[in-house]
Structure 1
Amino acid sequence: MSTATVETADPAASTAPDHPLTPLSADEILSARKIIDDNGLLGESVRFVFVALDEPHKKIVQTFEPGDPIDRCARVLLLDRATGQGSDLVVSITAERIVSRVAINSEADGHVPILDQEFEDIEAFLLECPEWLEAMRKRDLKPTDVRAVPLSAGVFGHEDEVGRRIVRVLAFYQYDEADLPWAHPIDGVVAYVDLTARTVVKVIDEMTLPLPTERGEWDAEPHAVPARTDLKPIEITQPEGASFTVDGNQITWADWSFRFGFDVREGLTLHQLSIDGRPVVYRASIAEMVVPYADPSPVRYWQNYFDQGEYLFGRYTNSLELGCDCLGEIKYFDVTIADEDGRPKVMKNAICLHEEDYGVLWKHTDMFNGMAETRRSRRLVISFFLTIGNYDYGFYWYLYLDGTIQLEAKATGIVFASAYRGPDGYSTEMAPGLGAPFHQHMFSARLDMAVDGDVNVVEEVDAVAVPIGPDNPWGNAFRPQKTRLSRESEAMRIADNLKARVWHITNPTKQNRLGQDVGYALHPEGQPVLLADPSSSIAQRAAFATKHLWVTQYDPSERYPAGQFVNQHPGDGGLPSFIAHDRDIDGQDIVVWHTFGLTHFPRPEDWPVMPVDYAGFKLKPVGFFDRNPALNVPAAPKSHCCES
């Protein structure tokens, strides 16, 4: 029987933060709300879009000593639903004042993200729209059984949308309460909705396509099958407890130490990640993701979702449960966020921390000296899972005993369905008449590097063959070719698996015992970047996804690779504007931005629910240590190795 235990902690519960990176507590969220209210900025129609810790400059954090005063500030985005006007505020909770307030120019800068409250009324708007009702009647569908799926609009040069908060609405049919609407797309029709005016402004009825009728629940016919009975239980136990320790939002495990945070835009963030007392990454996060679709039809050409910048996906974080998302000796963390009225909301068991066995770490059996040694690997896992519409995403950060850092994104859930338009279209037939459009899932990792300090350089390293010649008469030689990236304009790079391309981030002021600069290597998976045409709207708005690597000089204001306000932003925000300065990155305090992801041509096996697909990257030490850092891992007890 398993001895696994669960412990839950709320890292934001304390009203007296002991570190500048302690997440905002419920009391601090309420204090920020009161300050804003006292300044006359709240009203009946004003809503809170985003509230999070306004992180202090890294120099303040790096020099902080326990007992030092802490100036607590919150970043707050507001939306006046009556006018569509967004505001960007920094509020000092410590000084009880508004530090800055900026009115957002929606035409030039984009809109604040979309509220849940804005989505909730859309089905009612559709039921008041004669064009929409006629489109449903033409298809012999009962309008009240139509489920509206409002989606971000993007920017496509439509003059009548400039300055307006627009969403585009696709629809699915639900036969009964247990029915899964995703299985019944009402394709060929789309509605455009003005969220501020609260009205349908346009209905495009391209064509009437047959409604797929087969049910989509995983446990309904024709998918239902008896649960198999031939799998015996696997129990994960740690009789002596977990190896990690937790102090507030600081975690230590083996030689690793780091802090974690959480906000509704980026989700889980890691801070001051160090090993053996030496820094590696100052801050790590998934800072943006976009899901561009390949269907060019008049009702779907605009489907490109920025799940973070447009929807703030962290607010849809799941409450995790033992035996499903995490196994073993688990510590859960609650997360405190602000709801749309600016009041604290606790998401229970939002973050999971545990250890996993990971097979063989190192091994050798020697024919000369009789050596027969094996050491098992394990990793520390900190993760969260979220559901945004039809898809579910898990983000797992792994720390290994050999110094490796890994990020793994897990994509599962239900594919966004369409009507199947035939083999020459842009979808896979998943069930009779049911299509799943081709699409990509593109993520951007923001890695504020600090490899043994803040003076870092980046080199691109390729495996290259040496031509046959006097020094290589047999033609067998090859070597690494290193290219130093000196300026931001030189550091927009594409992965190349045929050259085993990696990027070394090294510190030229620190050397190992062999005189080599200490470093870490970014190992990309090398999957395709954004496949949309370079002149397309989405290529302008998601420019970060057109390259695997970007490197910028550190600027605390440069947090998001697609820009601050992605919703209906016209493009060229974020990284293109950052690198326009073409700053020096050779021996500077640098940020590495890495694009990775999935190109998804759906399979019938992805229906009715998709098995997990994986994407990610690794950071591996290269000369950071003098030798294998895992020599001190003890051998596993013999009882774990021998058959009983």
Structure 2
Amino acid sequence: MALEHTAEADHPLDPLSADEIESAYEILTGEREIGDSSLCIKIELAEPTKDALAAYDDGGDAPDRRARIVIRDGEERKTIETVVSLGDETVVSWEHVEGAQPSIAIEEFIACEETVKENSEWQAALERRGVEDTDRAMVDPWSVGHEFVPEGVDRSKRLAHGLTFLRPSEDVGDEGYAKPVTGVHTFVDLDRMEVVKVVDYGPPDEDEPFPPEGMAYREGDIDLREDLTAYNVDQPDGPSWSVEGQKLEWQGWHMRVGWTQREGLVLYDIGYEDDGEVRSIIDRASCAEMSVPYGTTDINDRFKNAMDVGEYNIGRLAKSLTNGCDCLGHMHYWDAVMNTAGGEANVLENAICLHEEDNGTLWERSDWRTGSDEVRRRRRLVVSFVAAVGNYDYIFNWYFYQDASMEVEVRLTGIDSVSAVGPDEDPSGYGELVAPQLNGPIHQHFFNFRLDANVDDGPNTLYRVENQQVPAGPDGLDPMGDADDRTHNPGGNAFYAKREKLASEEAAKELIDPLKGRYWQVVNPAEENRLGKSTGYRLMPGGNVEAAVQPDSSVMKRSGFIRYHLWATPFREDERYPSGRYPNQHPGGAGLPAWTAADRDLEQEDLVLWYTLGVNHVTRPEDWPILPVQVYSFKLQPVNFFEESPAIDVPPQHAIEGQDVPGHGESCGADADDD
């Protein structure tokens, strides 16, 4: 199977290269004193403004390449955000962000575990549970949030909340999640890298502090089924895409592929080629934040509320993808270039995977009168990455289809976050037993996708569209009678698609309503198709769930974006993340709730849609030891964007393959009378 790798490209939106990352850090440290104990949390491209990009697209000079750097000065307990000009080799801005805690670095995760394992109070807590070999323990540092910090711990410190698990041996490859050390909570000051408090609520059962069973899922530990035959994807003529640096073209689609440590995969300049013209749809798209609140009242789990994008940098937790495992067929990979805490470049190979896959029928027409039929197979392009966030693995797939629609999908897998319970305890409701004495607490996953819309170069306007019933009239229904002045719906069957303009931010705060077929449509009032209709794209919700936490809870304050499935704002350069720039340990209220309080006008604006995709997870034993992927998505579809179906010119299989398709007469998609 063929593999490809990308060379560096020269475009203002390209991620920083390894040389640029290291140069940016050298420029910063050469000009400013950042402290010997400081950590370089993040070095990313400071993306050019829209005005600068527009000037460049019109033939102007390329904007200055700049790097945004976030530094944590642990000694001074300060967070510094600075911008460095790579062209001028100078620091152009320097800001001490008062009270901000940046996302937790991988190096801090590693040091935090070592710090906890050296602590005598923590060791004593394990010894009370009969654990003599504490080297077998593993410690997962969780973000502390804000409200669930114990008394006596200074919230202004940079903190992590360590949860402990016990591996069956000292081999780091052995999983410990089947043996949670429930009751032990260790709080670490990451700036000083010291334990500030160990809380021990005691084991769920003194005699049996650990669940009795381990976990097995690796290839060598399982008797594998033997009745599965090989399935190979063969593209002898290569793929249908064209890749040049970060630029990607496929079946009419045009876009640029980017990356940030915070968001992972970012797609820029998404457009579709129509009659030789690339028409704009989305300027920038990414998963901008996550929130994973747990619903149990149990003191050992109720604090859990990971914000994996803003608190952990989900891009930094991405994995290197492998042929035949994460992707299948002919692949193209992009590497992700990030930084270490020391300001050095760190290259994650194969972070982004590109491939095509068959996806069933695209369209079909069978005429019983003539015996003819036409069938087209649907192929889709997949741009994806996978992040391993502690116990969970998240797969982000961006699908592009031949009918000019696109789909954003998240797949959840990995290991449930679990805690131990007593032998006779049933947590049913707030959690479910996934194995003997092993509780999987109820929780939800929310993913907020930021879609910087730009349909036909804007400006755009937003509408809600949903089914509307028609009243039958004061005298009731008369299906056999004639319509008269009293009713527009004599048979009771009438309904229509009601379109309502959402002209302000407050009006655009919406929940899904699948019972009414609700969706949202972004239109360009200045552009029309041949039928006189404004061109547009619609956002079609898929499966979703309402946030179950209380409106005044700490979770809702800190992750306010989960209150609604749809938000819309006018574009602002500095409004990038739905819970604000620095959600780690923030008390809440930042981001979308703060911005939309102004109730700004949305009519004929540069619109940004923020869609919250929610997942409800009531655990079950079938989730254990590894959760089979749970799949959730939403779609974007053209509406009046084209004159007719953009998929009508997709060739049948025999025309692509140059040969007849066995088992379907002469060929698939050819008239029966053709010779």
Partners of 2:225 and 2:243 lie apart in 1 by 39
The amino acid across from 1:488 in the alignment is E
Partners of 2:124 and 2:337 lie apart in 1 by 45
- The 5-angstrom pairing of residues 458-473 of structure 1 reads 458-469=462-473, 470-473=487-490
The amino acid across from 1:29 in the alignment is I
Match of 2:23, SS?
Answer: helix
Deviation digits for residues 487-513 of structure 1 (CA, Å, limit 9, x no counterpart) = 111111100111111001111111111
Q: Identify which of 160, 163, 167 aligns with 1:174.
A: 167
Alignment-derived partner of residue 155 in structure 2: 162
Alignment-derived partner of residue 329 in structure 1: 330
2:176 aligned with 1:203: no
Task: Classify 1:157/1:134 alpha carbon distance in 2 versus 1 (closer, same or farther; 3 Å).
Answer: closer
Alignment-derived partner of residue 455 in structure 1: 459
Alignment-derived partner of residue 411 in structure 1: 412
2:142 aligned with 1:151: yes
- Matched residue count: 631
- The 5-angstrom pairing of residues 454-533 of structure 1 reads 454-469=458-473, 470-533=487-550
Post-superposition shift, 1:349? 0.9
Alignment-derived partner of residue 483 in structure 2: none
Partners of 1:320 and 1:423 lie apart in 2 by 37
Alignment-derived partner of residue 97 in structure 2: 104
Deviation digits for residues 307-333 of structure 1 (CA, Å, limit 9, x no counterpart) = 110110111211111111111121111
Deviation digits for residues 362-388 of structure 1 (CA, Å, limit 9, x no counterpart) = 111123455411111111111111211
Partners of 1:553 and 1:299 lie apart in 2 by 41
Q: Which moved more, 1:263-272 or 1:230-239?
A: 230-239
Alignment-derived partner of residue 634 in structure 1: 651
Alignment-derived partner of residue 29 in structure 1: 21
Task: Classify 1:245/1:541 alpha carbon distance in 2 versus 1 (closer, same or farther; 3 Å).
Answer: same
Deviation digits for residues 403-431 of structure 1 (CA, Å, limit 9, x no counterpart) = 10111111111111111342346221111
Partners of 1:41 and 1:74 lie apart in 2 by 18
Match of 2:27, SS?
Answer: helix
Partners of 1:71 and 1:423 lie apart in 2 by 57
Alignment-derived partner of residue 439 in structure 2: 435
The answer (yes or no) to whether the contact 2:471–2:488 under 8 Å persists in 1 is: no
Post-superposition shift, 1:83? 3.0
Match of 2:660, SS?
Answer: helix
The amino acid across from 2:66 in the alignment is C
- The 5-angstrom pairing of residues 228-377 of structure 1 reads 228-276=225-273, 277-368=278-369, 371-377=372-378
Alignment-derived partner of residue 624 in structure 1: 641
Partners of 1:197 and 1:260 lie apart in 2 by 38
Post-superposition shift, 1:67? 7.2
Q: Identify which of 47, 55, 59 aligns with 1:63.
A: 55
The answer (yes or no) to whether the contact 1:179–1:217 under 8 Å persists in 2 is: no
The answer (yes or no) to whether the contact 1:337–1:345 under 8 Å persists in 2 is: yes
Deviation digits for residues 522-557 of structure 1 (CA, Å, limit 9, x no counterpart) = 011252132111111010000001100000000011
Post-superposition shift, 1:43? 3.4
Partners of 1:596 and 1:265 lie apart in 2 by 18
The amino acid across from 2:191 in the alignment is T
The amino acid across from 2:183 in the alignment is G
Partners of 1:179 and 1:338 lie apart in 2 by 28
Partners of 2:492 and 2:164 lie apart in 1 by 62
Post-superposition shift, 1:189? 2.0
Alignment-derived partner of residue 116 in structure 2: 126
Structure 1 gap ranges (5+)? none
Q: Which moved more, 1:374-383 or 1:58-67?
A: 58-67
Match of 2:455, SS?
Answer: coil
The amino acid across from 1:45 in the alignment is S
The answer (yes or no) to whether the contact 1:496–1:526 under 8 Å persists in 2 is: no
Partners of 2:218 and 2:313 lie apart in 1 by 31
Alignment-derived partner of residue 477 in structure 2: none
The answer (yes or no) to whether the contact 1:31–1:93 under 8 Å persists in 2 is: yes
Match of 2:21, SS?
Answer: helix
The answer (yes or no) to whether the contact 2:12–2:62 under 8 Å persists in 1 is: no
Match of 1:28, SS?
Answer: helix
The answer (yes or no) to whether the contact 1:165–1:194 under 8 Å persists in 2 is: yes
TM-score, scaled relative to structure 1 = 0.95
Match of 1:114, SS?
Answer: coil
Alignment-derived partner of residue 105 in structure 2: 115
Alignment-derived partner of residue 54 in structure 1: 46
The amino acid across from 2:440 in the alignment is A
Partners of 2:568 and 2:67 lie apart in 1 by 28
The answer (yes or no) to whether the contact 1:402–1:629 under 8 Å persists in 2 is: yes
Match of 1:63, SS?
Answer: helix
Post-superposition shift, 1:120? 2.0
Post-superposition shift, 1:191? 1.5
The amino acid across from 1:212 in the alignment is P
The answer (yes or no) to whether the contact 1:426–1:437 under 8 Å persists in 2 is: yes
The answer (yes or no) to whether the contact 2:575–2:591 under 8 Å persists in 1 is: yes
Q: Identify which of 526, 548, 555 aligns with 1:538.
A: 555
The answer (yes or no) to whether the contact 1:267–1:314 under 8 Å persists in 2 is: yes
Partners of 1:187 and 1:362 lie apart in 2 by 54
Partners of 2:255 and 2:174 lie apart in 1 by 45
Q: Identify which of 62, 72, 95 aligns with 2:65.
A: 72
The amino acid across from 1:428 in the alignment is E
The answer (yes or no) to whether the contact 2:185–2:199 under 8 Å persists in 1 is: yes
2:79 aligned with 1:86: yes
The amino acid across from 1:50 in the alignment is K
Q: Identify which of 170, 188, 197 aligns with 1:193.
A: 188
The answer (yes or no) to whether the contact 1:49–1:76 under 8 Å persists in 2 is: yes
The amino acid across from 1:136 in the alignment is L
Partners of 1:23 and 1:627 lie apart in 2 by 37
Deviation digits for residues 247-299 of structure 1 (CA, Å, limit 9, x no counterpart) = 11101111110001001101001111000110011111010111111222223
The answer (yes or no) to whether the contact 2:334–2:353 under 8 Å persists in 1 is: yes
Alignment-derived partner of residue 612 in structure 1: 629
Alignment-derived partner of residue 224 in structure 2: 227
Alignment-derived partner of residue 401 in structure 1: 402
Q: Which moved more, 1:197-206 or 1:273-282?
A: 197-206
Partners of 1:592 and 1:397 lie apart in 2 by 17
The answer (yes or no) to whether the contact 2:178–2:438 under 8 Å persists in 1 is: yes
Q: Identify which of 541, 565, 573 aligns with 1:556.
A: 573
Post-superposition shift, 1:127? 4.2
Partners of 1:384 and 1:216 lie apart in 2 by 27
Match of 1:45, SS?
Answer: coil
Partners of 2:647 and 2:113 lie apart in 1 by 58
Partners of 1:575 and 1:507 lie apart in 2 by 24
Post-superposition shift, 1:144? 2.8
Structure 2 gap ranges (5+)? 474-486, 666-675
The answer (yes or no) to whether the contact 1:125–1:199 under 8 Å persists in 2 is: yes
Post-superposition shift, 1:584? 0.8
Alignment-derived partner of residue 20 in structure 1: 12
Partners of 1:467 and 1:62 lie apart in 2 by 50
Partners of 1:529 and 1:91 lie apart in 2 by 42
Q: Which moved more, 1:263-272 or 1:38-47?
A: 38-47
